[in-house]
Amino acid sequence: MSGHRVLVLGAGYAGMMCAIRTARRGRRHGVTVTIVNPSGRFTERLRMHQVATGQELADHRIADLLDGTGVEFVEGRAVRIDPGDREVEVDTSAGARTLGYDTLVYAIGGVADTGAVPGADVHAHTFDDARAAGRLAARLAELERLGGTVTVCGGGLTGVEAAAEIAESHPGVRVVLLSRDVPGRMMGERARSHLDRALERLGVVVRAGAEIVKVLPDAVELAGGELVHSDATLWTSGVRIAPLAADAGIAADGRGRVITDATLRSVSAPQVHAVGDAAAIRQAWGGVHGTCQSGIPTAAYTADTIVALVRGRRVRPFRFGYFHQPVSLGRRDAVIQFTHPDDTPRRWFLSGRAAVAYKEMVSSSPVPTYRLTKRYAGGLVWPRGGRRTRRPATP
């Protein structure tokens, strides 16, 4: 089959991997690839807490990362999908543009769910992109001079990393971490104890069991009416996906993720594949949650699936299992909880300098992986876990 058009929406961790690998493996089979993204800059989402504390990261441009791959980059925002005619309408700086496809890869990343609590969308900062993180960085610089309180809402790994990074980089700022659950609750007891000690050492005030009901310009309101003063509020609780797929009639879950079959294809529109945060994926042990750890394997698998289908080959179901939970605690400390495939904790963990080195090695940046994929896609293989677990994960 020749002239098979693949259109990738979103150039995040998963979208970029899928586009590059599909182009590399499909070029001999008539596959052409186009990728659409609102910004020309590649955003390293895992490092937004560093950008928010004023640290400068490498400025990777999407066009440069795609150089030599044959992938066409369209800078613009996808605004409408027409699964019937297999077209996507894109708003660009030069006006509206319609792109056709034979296969669509839905790789639009998630953003903070600021609609979950009144006022969060107006008064809270997020890590949705580098510009948003940059605005928080400017505010933190002001508070470092004046003194003040930063409130981090959400005790998941993103919230923990943010609280630790802010406290270490801005010792003149009081950092409060508000969490419904115990921060790091998914970790084993010893790893969680190290995390707790690190937050205490950095001076982070942890309020576990806090139910946030409203975000105000200068405070966060808790259930019961208590107001927690906040000169800057960071929202890290919950993730939502743009409603683009659902608006097009593509089956999606309550968070906007495309519901997929065992091969990561839409259950309602088989020509649409979903990867990363944008996919609602089930394994034998439970649901896959959006992380770089799972996102890049979904992208590599989907690239191989697309090329296999073009060639008329049989496709095996996607298999995945988690391996670790890496958490930075500032620049000089970290904790790594090793896990069963269902993301429940094993006995083993790393902490301190060893954990810092480990995290830098395994999750520092996907850019070297992209460069390797451009040269030799077949050499990149991820573990296929999920066959055995200690116990079923909660859906």
Residue 151, Cβ density class (10 Å: 0-12 exposed, 13-18 middle, ≥19 buried): buried
What's the CATH number where 183 sits?
A: 3.50.50.60
Q: Are residues 253 and 216 in the same domain?
A: no
- Axis crossing angle, helix 292-310 with helix 13-26, rounded to the nearest 10: 30
What is the domain extent for residue 101? Answer: 4-110+241-320+365-379
Tell me, yes or no, whether 119 lies in a domain. Answer: yes
Could you tell me how many residues make up the chain?
395
Instruction: Based on the fold, state whether residues 245 and 373 are members of the same structural domain.
Output: yes
pLDDT for 259 beyond 90 = yes
Q: Do 119 and 217 have their domain in common?
A: yes
Domain count, the chain: 2
Answer with the one of 186, 219, 235 that is the final residue of a domain: 235
Q: Express each pLDDT in 89-145 by its tens digit.
A: 999 999 999 999 999 999 998 888 999 899 999 999 999 888 999 999 999 999 999
Give dist(CA 356, CA 339) in Å, integer: 18
Same domain as 246, residue 103: yes
* Residue 26 near residue 33 (C-beta atoms within 8 A): yes
Render pLDDT for 133-144 as a digit per residue (tens, 0 to 9). Answer: 999 999 999 999
Under DSSP, is residue 63 helix (H, G, I), strand (E, B) or coil? Answer: helix
Q: What is the pLDDT of residues 215-257, one digit of tens each?
A: 999 999 999 999 999 999 999 988 888 899 999 999 999 889 9
Confidence of residue 367 (pLDDT cuts 50, 70, 90): confident
Task: Output the CA torsion 233→54→173→127 (10° steps).
Answer: 20
Token readout for 315 is: 């496709």
Report if pTM > 0.85: yes
Query: What average pLDDT score do residues 320-346 get?
Result: 95
Question: Would you state the pLDDT for residue 365?
Answer: 78
Instruction: Encode pLDDT of 16-49 as tens digits.
Output: 999 999 999 999 999 999 999 999 999 888 888 9
Q: Are residues 215 and 156 in the same domain?
A: yes
Question: Are 138 and 27 within one domain?
Answer: no
172 and 290 together in one domain: no
Whether pLDDT at 391 is above 90: no
Single-letter amino acid, residue 370: Y
Task: Specify the pLDDT at position 57.
Answer: 82
Domain identity same for 198 and 291: no
Distance of CA 199 to the CA centre of its chain: 23
Average pLDDT of the chain to the nearest whole number: 91
- Binned at pLDDT 50, 70 and 90, residue 58 comes out as confident
Domain-embedded: residue 333: no
Residue type, 264: L
Q: Are residues 92 and 127 in the same domain?
A: no
**CA–CA separation, 209 vs 183, rounded Å?**
10
